Amino acid sequence: MRILMLSKACLVGAYQTKLEEIARCDEVELMTIVPPVWLDPAGPVELERAHTDGYQLLVDPIRFNGQFHFYYFPRLKKRLAQFQPDIVHIDEEPYNLATWLAMRQSRAAGAKTLFFSWQNLERRYPFPFNRLERQVLAGVDYAIMGNQDAARVWQAKGYAGPYRVIPQFGVNPAMFKPPARREAGRGFVFGSANRRLVPEKGDDLLLWAAAELPGVWRMLIAGDGPARPSLEKLARKLGIAGRVEFVGPIASTQMPAFLQQLDALVLASRRLPNWQEQFGRALVEAMACETAVIGAETGEIPHVIGDAGLTFAEDDAAALRAHLLNLMQSPERRDELGRKGRARVLAQYTQNQIAAQTTAVYREMMDGSKNC
């Protein structure tokens, strides 16, 4: 099977391990096309050429870079003629121009198509995106949904075709692994790892929860974004600025080292009218490192954590503080949750498993078989 994947997400080096795993399937010949950079609102995402064995990783320009709904690959028609894929995997939402154009051009070239979606809220889009969405839902051959809510959303909006629920990316357990040891006597170290610091990620709640914690502790907040100045101001107001470190953006290849130094990772997301947490990738990365996790009961977070971590009601600072205090006072509990977290990742969220499920979709699209 010749598979052509279009994916701006695969600029990230850690995510490319899924591509290597897909390419290990003897029946798959994989070409992945990425842009040279994605101009994300949080800052440019540059190509990290980190894991490229077994497949072709091509860099093609895109038009309207940074415009999520408008961007597209102008050289796609040429690439389709050169590679002649059986399936085009459009790693993008169905209401975007890139998806609609790729579906039309791929079908004209005789290839089957699928899209990927994280969209877990039923949102209505204006013209022309509502028309693009309807045509994609009617014309695509398959869909991969990142969570159960996404499946419900797209079925409610008219998608009647086959689909599977598979997270976009898993974790490479050889990269995200427990540290040899965590230094004793250093106090309790916890924090968050949100690439973009925005109100919906709830780092302000984490600061409020920490403000009344006793004992020796330190908080690390990774990422950058528009909420950072207000978070720094809040830390000063609460009198804890000396114990809170804003470490800034962290490259994907450096994330394991960051997570390994934490005793607990917190994802305190809160739902907005137009957004709720779609997965929480930092959770599975931390779990793979045997770092205990705490998450808000919103969106996909409680489903990702399962029984391998602690959850609290959305925006409940007192409940979050109680969980932090429990883990601070009980290294044994931290270790227990760490072990359960890694076991959960190994059972459900490795790149190998995500790749195997994805290649099963390809084979189902080609001939109905689900085994590679």
Give me the number of domains the chain comprises.
2
Task: Say if 372 falls within a structural domain.
Answer: no
Task: Say if 183 falls within a structural domain.
Answer: no
Q: Using a pLDDT cut of 90, give the percent of the chain over it.
A: 90
Do 222 and 277 sit in the same domain of this protein?
yes
Task: Say if 176 falls within a structural domain.
Answer: no
Do 130 and 264 sit in the same domain of this protein?
no
Cβ neighbourhood burial of 109 (10 Å; 0-12, 13-18, 19+): middle
Average pLDDT over all residues of the chain: 95
Any idea which residue has 């908080």 for tokens?
219
Model pLDDT for residues 85-106, shown as the tens digit of each residue: 999 999 999 999 999 999 999 9
Q: Which stretches within the chain are classed as H helix?
A: 16-23, 76-83, 97-108, 129-139, 148-156, 203-211, 228-237, 255-260, 281-288, 301-305, 317-329, 331-348, 351-367
Do 218 and 228 sit in the same domain of this protein?
yes
Q: Tell me the two tokens of residue 104.
A: 């039309």
Q: What is the pLDDT of residue 370?
A: 55
Model pLDDT for residues 40-59, shown as the tens digit of each residue: 887 899 999 999 999 999 99
Q: Judge whether 3 and 89 are in contact, CB under 8 Å.
A: yes
Do 10 and 154 sit in the same domain of this protein?
yes
Do 242 and 252 sit in the same domain of this protein?
yes
Do 274 and 135 sit in the same domain of this protein?
no
Do 152 and 255 sit in the same domain of this protein?
no
Task: Say if 354 falls within a structural domain.
Answer: yes
User: What torsion do the CA atoms of 48, 50, 55, 57 make, to the nearest 10 degrees?
Assistant: 20
Q: What is the pLDDT of residue 371?
A: 56
Task: Say if 181 falls within a structural domain.
Answer: no
Do 160 and 252 sit in the same domain of this protein?
no
Task: Say if 175 falls within a structural domain.
Answer: no
What's the Cα-to-Cα distance from 194 to each of 201, 224, 238, 267, rounded to whole Å? 7, 8, 21, 8
Q: What is the pLDDT of residue 252?
A: 84
Model pLDDT for residues 166-213, shown as the tens digit of each residue: 999 999 999 999 998 777 668 999 999 998 999 999 999 999 999 999
Task: Say if 210 falls within a structural domain.
Answer: yes
Computed on alpha carbons and rounded to an integer, the radius of gyration of the chain in Å comes to 21
Write the CATH number for 224.
3.40.50.2000
Model pLDDT for residues 220-251, shown as the tens digit of each residue: 999 999 999 999 999 999 999 999 999 999 98
Do 48 and 124 sit in the same domain of this protein?
yes
Q: Where are the beta strands (DSSP E) in 41-183?
A: 43-46, 56-59, 87-90, 112-117, 142-145, 163-165
Do 55 and 102 sit in the same domain of this protein?
yes
Do 126 and 161 sit in the same domain of this protein?
yes
Domain membership of residue 215 as a residue range: 188-348
The span from the first CA to the last CA of the chain, in angstroms, equals 11
Cα separation, 281 vs 285, in Å, equals 6
Which are the contacts of 71, defined by CB distance < 8 A and separation ≥ 6?
A: 8, 62, 63, 64, 65, 96, 97, 98
pTM of the prediction? 0.84
Do 344 and 354 sit in the same domain of this protein?
no
Task: Say if 86 falls within a structural domain.
Answer: yes
One-letter amino acid of 109 = A
Model pLDDT for residues 314-371, shown as the tens digit of each residue: 999 999 999 999 999 999 999 999 999 999 999 999 999 999 999 999 999 998 755 5
